[in-house]
């Protein structure tokens, strides 16, 4: 069968945009709300100086050492809330808003990244799965939606193949987002326990830090939901074309 544009392209467009509005837009809005909540919560507790007067980098260094991770380096990176741990390099990177700050928010974020370093040390299974999915997820998130969309507009065997390939590729990205949830929740749980056991923060201070980490976790939930609903949308549109 030769490749050609569907005669019913207008109806497909209607389904494309209406499904986007109904299935995806609400969770995009939720993502914006979650990001705003993270910033406002972080800013609030960034004004609360810890009683221990530890800087974010000092708290991270102490917690790493206590977990037998003296070899893990700490570096400063530009930006705000750009903190992350690189398992490949075994480097913990703290943003400008965390590195020198003595706030309970900064210490909480630093401890969260230490939690990721401990996960790597202990071969925490979800973390290992997420690391293995990084490559496929990057490819899937970039190419998957475009292949699926092109396939939807081609009424041919080629279109079906492209649509299915796009859906499969994007599924890897969605799986990455879903596996990220237990990884991030676990890192925050570890962070709170590490801070409590070390005495870097008091019980009252940990309450505020927990709120910062909980707000941050909402961004991962929103991202996972947005990705999942986008995948569901492509699947439904593909089935609609076949019917």
* Tens-level pLDDT at each residue, the chain (243 residues): 333 333 344 444 455 567 677 778 888 898 999 999 999 999 999 999 999 999 999 999 999 999 999 999 999 999 888 999 999 999 999 999 899 999 999 999 999 999 999 999 999 999 999 999 999 999 999 999 999 888 888 877 888 899 999 999 999 999 999 999 999 999 999 999 999 999 999 999 999 999 999 999 999 999 999 999 889 888 888 877 666
Give the separation between CA 179 and CA 173, rounded to whole angstroms. Answer: 10
What is the pLDDT at residue 109? 97
Residue 3 included in any domain = no
Residue 107 included in any domain = no
Per the structure, how many domains does the chain have?
A: 1
Q: Cα(first)–Cα(last) distance of the chain, in Å?
A: 18
Q: Please answer whether residues 30 and 225 qualify as being in contact, where contact means their C-beta atoms are separated by less than 8 angstroms.
A: yes
Residue 167 included in any domain = yes
Give the separation between CA 5 and CA 236, rounded to whole angstroms. Answer: 19
238: containing domain: 9-49+122-242
Residue 83 included in any domain = no
> Which SS3 state, helix, strand or coil, does residue 1 take?
coil
Residue 63 included in any domain = no
Catalytic machinery residues: 113
Residue 87 included in any domain = no
């Amino acid at each position: 069968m030769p490749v050609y544009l569907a005669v019913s392209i207008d109806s497909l467009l209607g389904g494309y945009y209406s499904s986007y509005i109904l299935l995806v837009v609400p969770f995009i809005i939720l993502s914006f709300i979650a990001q705003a909540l993270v910033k406002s919560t972080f800013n609030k507790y960034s004004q609360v100086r810890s009683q221990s007067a530890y800087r974010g980098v000092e708290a991270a260094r102490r917690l790493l050492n206590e977990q037998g991770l003296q070899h893990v380096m700490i570096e400063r990176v530009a930006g705000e809330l750009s903190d992350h741990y690189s398992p490949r390099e075994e480097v913990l990177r703290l943003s400008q808003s965390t590195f020198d700050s003595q706030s309970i928010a900064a210490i909480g974020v630093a401890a969260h990244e230490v939690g990721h370093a401990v996960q790597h040390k202990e071969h925490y299974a979800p973390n290992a799965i997420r690391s293995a999915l990084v490559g496929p997820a990057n490819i899937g998130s970039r190419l998957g939606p475009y292949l699926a969309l092109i396939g939807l507009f081609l009424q041919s065997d080629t279109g079906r193949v492209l649509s299915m390939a796009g859906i499969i590729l994007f599924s890897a990205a969605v799986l990455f987002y879903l596996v990220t949830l237990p990884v991030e929740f676990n890192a925050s749980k570890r962070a709170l326990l590490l801070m409590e056991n070390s005495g870097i923060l008091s019980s009252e201070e940990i309450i505020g830090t927990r709120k910062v980490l909980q707000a941050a976790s909402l961004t991962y939930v929103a991202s996972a939901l947005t990705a999942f609903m986008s995948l569901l949308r492509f699947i439904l549109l593909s089935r609609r074309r076949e019917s």
